[in-house]
């Protein structure tokens, strides 16, 4: 009995460790994007490239995003994003994609295929940060979801074997 409780506590500790690692990673990448002065136009071009590779190769990209919890605290989550298309109208750019979640604090590691894929619409925009001397940073937020925002999709972490899980 004690060993099963010990293993459960160990698994919980591993989940918290992974959550902390994702928090540091999300914060570090967001800061690098700010320091590089990445613009919405540059990010749009990256998402267009992701959509092309998704169409031709079935590419899914690792993504980190913040989710607002019931407590009001936002925690990073992790998943794979399949970018279906990028739509631009006027000054608005939206990305239609499918998200396969692979980690949340509540559920821990989620094996791909154990939960249904979720269609998402993301909006790419430049955000003005007054607290940093009127600096502009790029943001990618989910439209229609009050809880998911600040998506960071990594171009160097790609998989082509997830297409069967997207439906």
pTM: 0.91
Spatial contact of 44 and 93, defined as CB atoms under 8 Å apart: yes
Separation of alpha carbons 159 and 146, rounded Å: 28
Q: Which residues pair with 152 in a beta bridge?
A: 64
Helix/strand/coil for 104: strand
Spatial contact of 105 and 155, defined as CB atoms under 8 Å apart: no
Domain range spanning residue 140?
A: 2-165
Query: How far from chain centre, in Å, is Cα 11?
Result: 24
Predicted pLDDT of residue 91 = 83
Predicted pLDDT of residue 79 = 97
**In this structure, what DSSP letter does residue 160 have?**
S
User: How many domains is the chain built from?
Assistant: 1
Predicted pLDDT of residue 72 = 82
Rounded to 5°, angle at Cα 159 from 156 and 165: 145
Separation of alpha carbons 16 and 103, rounded Å: 11
Mean pLDDT for the chain? Answer: 92
Predicted pLDDT of residue 146 = 67
pLDDT < 70: residue spans in the chain: 1, 132-133, 146
């Amino acid at each position: 009995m004690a060993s099963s409780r010990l293993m459960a506590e160990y698994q919980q500790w591993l989940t918290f460790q992974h959550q902390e690692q994702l928090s540091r990673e999300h914060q570090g990448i967001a800061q690098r994007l700010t320091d590089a002065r990445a613009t919405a136009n540059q990010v749009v071009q990256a998402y267009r490239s992701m959509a092309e590779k998704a169409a031709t190769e079935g590419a899914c990209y690792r993504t980190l995003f913040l989710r607002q919890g019931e407590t009001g605290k936002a925690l990073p989550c992790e998943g794979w994003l399949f970018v279906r298309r990028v739509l631009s109208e006027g000054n608005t750019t939206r990305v239609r994609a499918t998200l396969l979640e692979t980690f949340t604090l509540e559920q821990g590691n989620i094996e791909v295929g154990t939960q249904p894929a979720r269609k998402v619409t993301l909006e790419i925009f430049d955000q003005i940060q007054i607290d940093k001397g009127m600096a502009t940073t790029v943001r990618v937020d989910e439209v229609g979801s009050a809880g998911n925002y600040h998506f960071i999709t990594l171009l160097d972490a790609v998989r082509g074997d997830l297409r069967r899980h997207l439906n």
